Amino acid sequence: MSDTPNRGILHLVPNTLDSHTTGALPPIEAVLPLGVIRTAARLEHWLVENAKSARAFLKRIDAIESLVRPLQAISVIELPRPQKGAREAAPNFDAPRWLAPTLKGYDMGLLSEAGLPAVADPGASAVEAAHALGVTVIALPGPSALALALAASGHNGQRFAFVGYLPTNEASRAARIRELEELSRRQQQTQLMIETPYRNAALLAALIQHLQGDTRLAVSCGLTLPGGWTRSERVAAWRSRPSQLPSDVPAVFSLDAGVAAAARN
């Protein structure tokens, strides 16, 4: 909400969830609303997680709705950032410099590599800075891997937490898994987590090993993509019939040790 009507708007533009796909990409209108595609097509100034993938995104937008200028004439600036999930401070974020176009009245787009920017993804510092500068922020609807995985799990969607990445050290990870299970049971709170794809199988193995047999465990792979799937069963069933997880596709993991949904809502 802005008191400074001469400023541009910062639009948070959802990306598709197929950035890891090596084959032919599905048409972008299968997963993004036309209203979002039209807004993206008219933005000349972008703050992005990755410039190369942002330009690929804009080419897919252009195929549906012509960009307001040739792609080469569109400003695409990368956000400074540490590794995903890292807690260290970023290099000094010079907000007025990065958001300069909005201060001159131009609308800007914020784009991450997949899904909604600033949700399990970089961008929150730009959004925070925008608010501080009196720049209006509008989040545009589109795919959110966490929300989709939670919906598809059938786990408690009235209370849930996203806890990010688990420790990679084996003993710390086991302790964290048991802590999350206890938290889920005590608070009736679903726990969502992610992992870098090459560690998908290791995280699943650890969850199956350390969770109790009657805890509900769900994994979503390739959300919104052909061939994507969600499996949601009790840990005991995962144990007796293991799943292979791909090592090159993002997955979302969800555990629910609370009361079953049928008895809840």
Tokens standing for 52?
Answer: 């190369």
**105 makes contact with its own copies (CB under 8 A):** no
Site for its own copies in 191-220 (CB under 8 A): 216, 220
Q: Which of positions 122-181 make contact with its own copies (CB under 8 A)?
A: 122-131, 136-144, 146-164
Can you tell me which of 172, 229, 242, 248 binds its own copies, judged by CB under 8 A? 229
User: Is the CB of 164 or the CB of 213 nearer to its own copies?
Assistant: 164
Closest contact distance (angstroms) between CB of 7 and its own copies is 14
128: exposed, middle or buried (Cβ count in 10 Å: 0-12, 13-18, 19+): middle
Q: Nearest 5°: phi and psi at 125?
A: -65, -35
Backbone angles phi, psi at 15, to 5 degrees: -100, 165
Which residues touch 264 (CB under 8 Å, ≥6 apart)? 156, 158, 188, 258
Pairing mode of beta strands 160-162, 136-139:
unpaired
Residues 57-86 that bind its own copies (CB under 8 A): 81-82, 85-86
Q: Which is closer to its own copies, CB of 107 or CB of 121?
A: 121
Nearer to its own copies, 101 or 143 (CB): 143
Nearest one of 237, 250, 160 to 203, comparing CA atoms? 250
Dihedral sign from CA coordinates of 259, 233, 171, 163: negative
Binding-site string for its own copies from residue 19 to residue 58, where x marks contact by CB under 8 A and - marks none: -------xx-xxxxxxx-----------------------
Query: How many residues in total does the chain contain?
Result: 265
117 near its own copies (CB under 8 A)? yes
CA distances from 74 to 38, 51, 59, 69, 147 (A): 15, 11, 12, 7, 31
Applying CB under 8 A, does 263 fall inside the site for its own copies?
A: yes
- Taking the complex as a whole, how short is the minimal distance between the CB of residue 144 and its own copies, in angstroms? 4
Closer residue to its own copies in complex, CB, 69/141: 141
| SS3 state at 231 | strand
Smallest distance from the beta carbon of 217 to its own copies, in angstroms?
11
